Structure 1
């Protein structure tokens, strides 16, 4: 326009110049002439502008300097029913990079400009020049049935030397993508590609799938609305629409409601560097202005657009999910009815609930025999306690001797006789008091009670009656704290989690950056604002089965309380002491696991992975505490101590995710803490808590090693406990060594594996010791064990499929994406949610029912292990 004004000013009659009305015509003409002459002198009076009528599919070889400008004029006819792309391809044949050529494409509704060589910037502002550039022109929509449009390509430069170039404008015949038809093409950083897709009638949602056989170079796929300009370069592709990086796979679900024109562009851009896709970091330039040769970064890509599922599949998926987990409710009700009939039949064949043993001449549990622990039918001999008191040459030997002098030890038959006599003489006393072999009423001072604890807990063979001496009401309140604490934790934990994931989802929807969340994009079905509704829905099983378990525990709790009120002998004096607080906490933790797992899958990434694992740690810890509580009700950890330890575990989980990747110092510190914690816990379990951590602990350890191992060459006093703890230490030390050597990226899963290994080891020990003690597993518990083991096996198979992983880059994670495998709605990870929730529910039932065979066995005949 400036050139045109200069040319007109030279041939214009000065006297005819126009100007403001308040200036006289002669002065205005002189002023206008001076301004135009100054501008024309600034831009160069000798600029030669040449306009050429150009044609499609013709290659133009020409030279451009600062003294000439070439304009190529094109025209083409577009129709409303057919869309054709127009592509401009430019090659610079000269090697000079100081003065690039500027190409400006002027269209009806847009202007596209680019320079050649095209300089694209990478990480740390590194510069990559490209002499071959290809750009596709945007196609503004037309309302007319047919319309002829004009566009111009202006070529100019500021270089005084001639620069040779080639220009070619061609039509892209296959510019519109067809449904379910694969389209192949090649793209590079300087030659991006994009194509148009129009929603067919009756299709509201489609999935754009992009595949390549080449991992690198790294690429970006974008979905943009039909508008000009189209952002198709590495430095601006993220400005609009939805986009994601990709190596071999990429997929974006597109809904019609997000595009008012019922159509969109699929844009493919090859990045200048591969760091965003996990590729190697290229070398630094020697100078800030140094240009780096990018090499050949062409990539062959396939694009296919397929219709997504319809609303009927959504309904079928939700009904399937509800149907599976609702079916457990009538099944559980049926099993409860069968179990009630069995219990009533057992009660009819045994002693009536309101009849004492003395009235019937029978003693509960006498018929129950034990195997390897019993010594000729006697439960506890004076030799056993004497050996226990004298052989442990530690802090409590003299206490044991004094207590043995003051109190005779009863054998099994005497103990039963004394128990019967007490039950007859204590009509005014509550039957809820324990029939333990040692009563707290027999002592006058607190020191006597502590001395008795030292003797009882260091006996060679312990019975549940020895560790169930505390008041049941106090213990019941102690274990109820587990439930109330976890309920409080759940509320204060879940509220900020929900708020945070809503923010994540909002950011994804607003920015269009699909690298924020690590979905299985090939099976991510949106619903409303949620990007992957199926991953959220599949967590329903944890909530529904957790609620069902709470109802089962509540039923057992009510039945037990009624039995206690009517002074049922079995409830008062037989079986494992019934404390349901930990069971309530386990059921609540299972429900919270479902809620937090659903929150995590709203936008799964490495910053919120602890949402999905925190209550897994709690479930593993609570299950271990419940196993220990069964045989050690008086000395189990308090809720405050337990949750403090679990909080420390979660704290290390967060530190491991943030700092643990390849950090040797962190792994050394964690491994040392892991080994020390294992040793301290082993000592606590071995001595039943009857040891002190003070300045004399090392001296006592050396004394025990000298007297028991070196001087007397005696074996461990508690062989079974020693076997368990030795195996536990071997497993944990091995896991610590593995973590120190391998330093796995997924620290949260590594920590969870430690918890699960310890839980499985303790559970296996419990089952083996139960069988060794002559106890049996009832049919219901055995069915639960076998069913749970099978379900866990299938669940772990689907878990290790690894459809996505936040330990890698988003592009590398998408390489693991796979299609839906169930009802075209659920993927492998959804099936893991289904099966793992069922397996956890079955595991809880195992813990609830595995000791039902002891409900009629006297507690002083149930071994502690």
Structure 2
């Protein structure tokens, strides 16, 4: 009231003072639809009197159009429109300011008068258009007042109109009975000029200029598309105005930034900034669709609980049957007088089912590739020194290693070591999630209070609000990460309990066979998946470039933990500690934040990052190749030259560990290529680029693991094979929906809205929601693959399981 009332009062006093200085006031009865060509000077003022009938059941728009006909004038014409409950004033030529206080002049001005509701059924209202100036010379102008056709928008009916910066448009919409939420969609065939769509309550004045449209209501910039979901509860009058304003400049919509040499009081040419737009108001979904969407989401992921229970029952029944068959076979051989070893023998039926015995297998049963690349560890393979079984420099540098060589540490010590992964990530999750939740609540509050729809990058064509949340469907679709993460934790817990029971009864299979069972990393992976769901939901409360790392931080965690788990399977003694692993992941997240803030177009940052990326790859390659038996000190260059001289120049011998060398060479090629791509292309989305590096390395290591497992004569059981195939298919579909790109914070909010699309599932979920569904299922399947892929080794002695 203060901001509007004081200028109007000052304006009215000024007009009165001008009138007192021997000015002539002429009042004319005016008609709608008639163009009045007239002149005005500082010595005369013209008042045009209009009257029209206002009905409570019908809203009629009134539009005032003014054009300055004089080519040059030092003083503008002032138009003051006095209504029953409002005063509207503007000058011609109209001066609007842009970026850096650049000023643009408009000689044609059109304004629509606000129409406050009337309490009586019908009444005649008068309004007056006062025209005055301080120019001593005559100024020619044209005035026309007309009624606006189709001022009230109809549901599901498209209406087209034109707008310019000096001729904004607004229309009224009344909620029909039974409709509580509508979506207002504004479209244009042209990207530019940049526009602003605003939703305002029915009140006077209506803020319909570039410099005041953001004062009240909800608003968003737009190029081709704009959409706002409006709820009846936010508008007590059950109606609202749809205001469309064309901006004076295009920088807010990502248009070209032009720098002009500014002079004092310089006026720039506004050019032709007319834009044709279409507006459609459609009913939004009702409460039944919300309920169906939530039930659908719960049903999908609860079905995995049911399926897991059925598979567990089948596997348990199968294990009991296998145990009975094995016991029967052993008893029969004993009755026939055969010589029994202290270790049980596996029959052909058990072998066919994938269960190996505890006796040493002959190399004839292993594939040819395994004979050529690996060999059983016999005493004759190395010099029998006194410290051969304890010196890790001797054990780890053997040409062919078995799991028993890298599983020498006390099991209780290792269990505590790997349990730290779970407790550390739980601590990290608490301290990370709490400020994130607080921050996104603040973001959502700011959006709701200010009405600025440019703060958050939603898919506005499929953003269904619930309570204070602007896009509830994008939050709900993250439920799968939490539910499947919890399910994975329950599966791991069940395996952990069974394994501990086997250890308590001194089961020789659990003690000396199979890959050593350490579940700490699995618990950490399940927790990370649940946290990914929580933080992704927080990110989608208000997605933008400042909080995108919330959505990706635990993705880095998951990728890193999966690689660590793959490495731990065959290297339990030398796997990284939780503190080292999380410190490295913290460095990755740190670079992710730096990349988002400083990486866009910054050559120096990309050079530094690429160098660090390559050096880290080389250091990690050396660590993996030598199993940690090397030192980074002042003598490393001398030792490197000595190795090159003795192994390459003097005798030209090949690498001692061929398999490891193949993996590391491929890994370096991939990482060096990614570093070169980043340095050359410098992608705007640095967080996704960093995630792509992690995923590429994980996939490369996983493929190497599977290939080496098959080369070593090992097999993949049916359950693991089904998980691999199912997960690969789901990942393919998930990535398809991920790359649909419904919004992008790399561009301006207006440009992001050009990618918005309608819902495609149950009229509630969009493409990105389906990505959430499928990616959570795919991650869960990937975890199951890591959990079950070595089940075929559960009855194989560890000194017969090879390290690669």
When normalised by structure 1's length, the TM-score is 0.87
**Residues 345, 358 of structure 2: 8 Å contact kept:** no
1:800 equivalent among 726, 739, 742: 739
Q: Does 1:812 align with 2:788?
A: no
The match for 1:622 among 550, 561, 565 is: 561
Task: Go from structure 1 to structure 2 and tell me whether the alpha carbon gap of 1:360 and 1:553 turns closer, same or farther (over 3 Å shift).
Answer: closer
Q: Out of 434, 447, 450, which is 1:508 matched to?
A: 447
Task: Identify which of 627, 631, 641 aligns with 1:688.
Answer: 627
Specify the alignment match of 1:233 in structure 2. 209
Q: 1:359 & 1:801 partners in 2: Cα distance?
A: 58
Structure-2 residue corresponding to 1:79: 55
Alpha-carbon contact 2:73-2:135 (below 8 Å) kept: no
- What are the Cα deviations for residues 234-283 of structure 1, in whole angstroms up to 9, with x where unaligned? 00000000000000000000000000000000000000000000000123
CA-to-partner distance for each residue in 1:595-652, whole Å, 9 max, x for gaps?
0000000000001101000000000000000000000000000000000000000000
Secondary structure at the residue paired with 1:238? coil
Alignment-derived partner of residue 649 in structure 1: 588
Residue 147 of structure 1 corresponds to which residue in structure 2?
123
Deviation by residue 1:410-467 (Cα, 9 ceiling, x = unmatched): xxxxxxxxxxxxxxxxxxxxxxxxxxxx65xxxxxxxxx4xx2111111111000000
Residue 366 (structure 1) aligns with: 360
**Counterpart of 1:194 in 2: which secondary structure?**
strand
Does residue 667 (structure 1) correspond to residue 663 (structure 2)? The answer is no
Q: Residue 714 of structure 1 aligns with which residue?
A: 653
Paired residue for 2:483, among 544, 552, 562?
Answer: 544
Instruction: Determine which of 306, 316, 319 is the counterpart of 1:343.
Output: 319
Residues 284-326 of structure 1, C-alpha deviations (whole Å, 9 max, x = no match)? 2331321100100000000000000000000000000000000
Task: Work out whether residues 377 and 402 of structure 2, in 8 Å CA contact, stay in contact via their aligned partners in 1.
Answer: no
Contact 2:330–2:344, Cα closer than 8 Å, also in 1: no
Instruction: Please say if 1:213 is aligned against 2:197.
Output: no
Please say if residues 116 and 130 of structure 1, whose CA atoms lie closer than 8 Å, have aligned partners that are also in contact. yes
User: Deviation of residue 145 (structure 1)?
Assistant: 1.1
The superposition leaves residues 564-586 of structure 1 with CA deviations (integer Å, 9 ceiling, x where unpaired) of 00011110000000000000000
**Could you tell me how far apart the structure 1 residues matched to 2:227 and 2:158 are?**
14
Q: What residue is the counterpart of 1:29 in the other structure?
A: none
Of residues 311, 316, 326, the one that matches 2:287 is 311
Corresponding residue number in structure 1 for 2:94: 118
Question: Are positions 1:92 and 2:88 aligned together?
Answer: no
* Corresponding residue of 1:286: 262
In 2: Cα distance, 1:285 partner to 1:60 partner: 39
Conservation of the 8 A alpha-carbon contact between 1:385 and 1:460 = no
Q: CA RMSD in A?
A: 1.9
Q: How far apart are 1:380 and its partner, in Å?
A: 2.8
> Equivalent of 1:635, from 531, 551, 574?
574
1:166 aligns to 2:142 (yes or no): yes
* Aligned counterpart for 1:107 among listed residues 75, 83, 86: 83
Question: Are 1:262 and 2:238 counterparts?
Answer: yes
Equivalent position to 2:218, from 242, 263, 270: 242
Counterpart CA distance in 1 for 2:23 and 2:547 is 62
Structure 1 residue 479 and structure 2 residue 418: aligned?
yes
SS at match of 1:466: helix
Q: Distance in 2 between matches of 1:317 and 1:554?
A: 31
Q: 1:658 aligned to 597, 605, 621, which one?
A: 597
Count of residue pairs brought into register by the alignment = 770
The residue that corresponds to 1:66 in the other structure is 42
Question: What secondary structure sits across from 2:157 in the alignment?
Answer: coil
Aligned position for 1:380: 377
Which deviates the most, 195-204 or 282-291?
282-291
Shift of 1:357: 5.2
1:202-601 paired onto structure 2 within 5 Å: 202-350=178-326, 358=342, 360=344, 364=358, 366-367=360-361, 369-371=365-367, 372-374=369-371, 379-380=376-377, 384-385=381-382, 404-406=384-386, 439=389, 449=390, 452-601=391-540
Checking the alignment, whether the CA contact within 8 Å between 1:329 and 1:548 is kept in structure 2 is yes
Indicate whether 1:762 and 2:701 are aligned: yes
- Tell me how far 1:341 sits from its aligned partner: 2.0
Q: Distance in 2 between matches of 1:767 and 1:617?
A: 22
Question: Do the aligned residues in 1 keep the contact of 2:112 with 2:170 (CA within 8 Å)?
Answer: yes
CA offset at residue 82 of structure 1? 1.2
1:199 aligns with 2:199: no
Deviation at 1:78, TM superposition (A): 1.2
Q: How far is 1:836 from its partner?
A: 0.3
Select which of 678, 690, 698 maps to 1:751.
690
CA-to-partner distance for each residue in 1:324-371, whole Å, 9 max, x for gaps? 000111100110111112222333344799999526577615347433
| Alignment gaps of 5+ in structure 1 | 1-37, 387-403, 408-437, 440-448
Residues 378/660 of structure 1: CA separation in 2 closer, same or farther (3 Å cut): closer
Greater mean deviation of Cα atoms: 281-290 or 759-768: 281-290
Task: Report the Cα distance in structure 2 between the residues aligned to 1:478 and 1:40, rounded to whole angstroms.
Answer: 87
Aligned to 1:703: 642
Distance 1:357 1:805, change over 3 A: farther
Aligned partner of 1:602 in structure 2 is 541
| In structure 2, C-alpha distance between the alignment counterparts of 1:344 and 1:262, rounded to whole Å | 68
| Counterpart-to-counterpart distance in 2, 1:39 and 1:561 | 93
Q: Does the residue aligned with 1:239 lie in a helix, a strand or coil?
A: coil
Instruction: Return the alpha-carbon distance in structure 2 between the equivalents of residues 250 and 177 of structure 1.
Output: 17
Unaligned runs of 5+ in 2: 1-13, 332-339, 347-356
Per-residue deviation at 1:149? Answer: 0.4
Give how far 1:376 is off.
11
1:378 deviation in Å?
A: 5.3
8 Å CA contact 1:675–1:736 kept in 2: the answer is yes
CA contact (8 A) 1:780 1:849 kept: yes
Deviations 1:713-753 (A, max 9, x none): 11110000000000000000000000000000000000000
* Shift in alpha-carbon separation, 1:359–1:258, aligned structure 2, 3 A: closer
Alignment check: 8 A CA contact 2:175 2:238 kept:
yes
User: Radius of gyration: which is bigger?
Assistant: 1
Say whether the 8 Å CA contact 1:97–1:117 is kept in structure 2: no
